[in-house]
Structure 1
């Protein structure tokens, strides 16, 4: 059996393909190789879209030609299909690949107070009119308010991953309760779940947290994480450095996965409840406290429960939309 590729390896391969597409159209042989690669693991198409977004972010930071010249494209040879280009490939990838990865691609023209919401188990990628992108996790909602002086987004609830394209005239602001988050460029995740502290993770670039020009603000560089205190009166804690593996686990939901590393079983069950109507019920307090580690499909709580039952020698019963886990009765 072939060993499954790691998400890091897939991302690196996707970045290499984007770089090759930037150098010019692919040959017929290269096109076939890329198509075969994309047709394999469903995570690869999502990785191509993320690599393209990061490449576009880098390109937009470069100084433009002060006197750009329009060059008309050469027509394709008669009766010959045009070679695959980066734009054509991304359109094709978005159509087939995002469906395979359970992501819906939605291009919107931002209007005042435009709202975007995802349902149970839905993950959606949104491209804003400035080229910035947002990936919304399940049961999330945000409101977009773009203006002439500021690009403003309010995360109402849920979880979102932002990739910000630089704009020297307009900062990108994510409104959080009493703690506006400002980014000039970069990629970061904000998680706002009821009953839990707002959690911010910076993947690339950097961002500032707090009102501009006031004391008490905090700058978060890449590969850091911070949880907001419950009261806006409380000082902000220092960002904590995190590893790339930690970031990959925290962002696994973009590929339809849930990653655990030592969380309690009842916490894992609550996380699965965000993605599915099937509920995992644990009717043993000792079993509920068992640690869980691994990468699981977010849409398969039943498969996860079967794995847990095998590992912890538990009894599994399914009653309608409930999967019930209990300890097996010990034999006398």
Structure 2
């Protein structure tokens, strides 16, 4: 490894995730000295969180062995992805947050295999529900349905959907998520849910949001972000931006690059890693065409003047220009 690499000095990192990634990259991708190995052992013993973070990276590393290199049509001269290169290129330093939050990095799109309704990455689907309501699903979305003469309920497991709820003798329409529950008699709204956080934007009528600590009535033209732990402030809903995916576009205005990349994961195969914290926070304003997902990264790189490096169709790294 280059002697100038920050990965050779894990103590410079101010958070456990960075330190774990730095030690991992050094031990797996370089030639650590006996002194460095002793320092690593001391770091592991200093705090149980250190050992846990390092163990999560070991799990991620094991998953990376499942990758099968394929020819890269967009950049045929790029080197194949090997497990050694996976570390030596610094990819470990870009996945700290991911390693801390999930063990299914390379299994995107195959979760919730038994859901009643699912869309693949990049797929859009319109569904007529048993009560006459309509559901429009964005890419990588999964739901369960529970309808009867006296009940109409949906469980949004993950993803994003636009609901057009019609009134019914069966009573209120309810949606459960990991973040909380929604109820309405009649409304149109967009709901997205990833992990333990949800975001709601109401375009017609009114929706009630119920969490463990709060009940909120959200009216037309308003938006709310909520989780089990906290409910955000009610905001004006930028509906044209929030609902642009329904007409085949993604619209971002002054959003952090990290937010943009998270959204792109719903619409294109593979994973994108931002290799610089300042780059992840950089604000982005652009419009992307969902009909051409293969062009999304090219548009993004031109708009931000960032460098992209691709290893197979599964991994793309973003660097400052």
TM range (shorter): 0.5 to 0.7
> TM-score with structure 1 length normalisation?
0.55
Q: In 2 relative to 1, CA 302–130 (structure 1 residues): closer, same or farther, beyond 3 Å?
A: closer
Partner of 1:123: 124
- List per-residue Cα deviations over 1:205-233 (Å, max 9, x = no partner): 1122239xx995321111111112333xx
Q: CA deviation at 1:313?
A: 3.5
Q: In structure 1, what is the Cα distance between the partners aligned to 2:139 and 2:285?
A: 22
Q: In 2 relative to 1, CA 306–191 (structure 1 residues): closer, same or farther, beyond 3 Å?
A: same
CA contact (8 A) 1:114 1:145 kept: no
1:249 lines up with 2:247 in the alignment: no
Q: Secondary structure at the match of 2:185?
A: strand
Q: CA deviation at 1:269?
A: 2.1
Q: CA deviation at 1:240?
A: 2.5
Residue from 195, 217, 220 that aligns with 2:218: 220
Q: Secondary structure at the match of 2:150?
A: coil
Q: CA deviation at 1:133?
A: 0.3
Q: In structure 2, what is the Cα distance between the partners aligned to 1:155 and 1:307?
A: 31
Partner of 2:133: 132
Q: In structure 1, what is the Cα distance between the partners aligned to 2:240 and 2:206?
A: 18
Partner of 1:290: 282
Q: Secondary structure at the match of 2:201?
A: strand
1:187 lines up with 2:188 in the alignment: yes
CA contact (8 A) 1:272 1:298 kept: no
Q: In 2 relative to 1, CA 119–302 (structure 1 residues): closer, same or farther, beyond 3 Å?
A: closer
> TM-score with structure 2 length normalisation?
0.57
Q: In 2 relative to 1, CA 206–296 (structure 1 residues): closer, same or farther, beyond 3 Å?
A: same
Partner of 1:202: 202
Q: In 2 relative to 1, CA 124–302 (structure 1 residues): closer, same or farther, beyond 3 Å?
A: closer
Correspondence 1:1-332 to 2 at 5 A: 115-177=116-178, 179-194=180-195, 197-210=197-210, 216-231=214-229, 236=231, 239-242=234-237, 246-298=238-290, 300-321=292-313, 322-328=315-321
Unpaired runs of at least 5, structure 2: 1-113
RMSD between aligned alpha carbons?
A: 2.8
Q: In 2 relative to 1, CA 324–207 (structure 1 residues): closer, same or farther, beyond 3 Å?
A: closer
Question: Higher relative CO (CA 8 A, sep ≥ 6), structure 1 or 2?
Answer: 2
Partner of 1:50: none
Q: In 2 relative to 1, CA 326–302 (structure 1 residues): closer, same or farther, beyond 3 Å?
A: farther
Q: Secondary structure at the match of 1:228?
A: strand
Q: In structure 1, what is the Cα distance between the partners aligned to 2:265 and 2:188?
A: 27
